Structure 1
């Protein structure tokens, strides 16, 4: 069965130029040409296009293209490695999300020690939390919480926002989380504008992870079908 570029394009609302671009990029296998130079596609090309479009929401446009080029080039192991990396990244994102949720839940159950309003210094903050000032300095070197310096004394000055982040970092460390993961959590908190607005962000984040996981299932089925499609 021979298909024209427009036949592939219409199924997905694409342009015929997009089909040609995908072929040139190696996302579709090379098409046969008629004596007049017209491209002749097959059901295998249609399957390749469906597979690529299914891979995009699962792994992103760039990785989806790399997977298809690997498959079309006979490097199936490379394609599988890229897919494995995508699953590993999704699993890591889930662990980070769960760490944020647990930390916020623990903070709600056990309110942090009362601190005086306004700014505070490293000594009083460390004493209130029952940790050493060296721990706070270590967190600063790791980029978790970087307080400003008093211009007159050079002492570290922790603002209320810094204190909030220190409390969250302290809770996460008690939960056994590493500094790199804590840094990701704090970035999420800052991006959301604080722990309270973060609740809605967490729900959206979980929804995105669920959607991506389901997209990976769909993409895997499409890729499996494509690998079983005859090459001619």
Structure 2
């Protein structure tokens, strides 16, 4: 099957996550806490928690750490007051950026996000200003290897409900609707395929290149600054990181 995919973005994102593993685990723990508060601590009954656990496992978060995070969240429900906020804006030369946050202090978060944009030749926009350029999808990424039968993997994914299967130089990318993500991810995992990324994400319909070195540097710094912020859970953009 075919479809739009930018595997360079996947590779860069994985490299950043590997370099910030501890911070990634902390952020996933915060997502677990909110999911438990909203739907309970049983992943079989809480689809949102189930999807976050899948994301945690793909990020190599140890099972005992995941279990501790769920138990901790279940025991501290009254103390969890995170608010989910999404910001949309533009990076250098109009690159579309969506910033997904969980915070207990929205004034602090808004100030930090706004500063990150303004410092790097970007600006915040209004709700909906760039989100129409993205599709909300389930995305499962599996690193290519000689022992992987591409046709078999593709058929398992499609039979389980995948929308698309894309082959890149380094990765296979399986795209699903948000509703089918859990079942497809489960089928792929039970067949013995380990993913390097598995999550509900925002995929850009098209990507944009930057040619000016200063703009590239500022865009990369904008992404890094936002991802370093403890309140920021995800940064989605249409910058082609080749």
Normalising by structure 2, we get a TM-score of 0.19
Choose between structure 1 and 2: higher strand proportion.
2
Normalising by structure 1, we get a TM-score of 0.20
Choose between structure 1 and 2: higher helix proportion.
1
Whichever of the two has the greater Rg, that structure is: 1
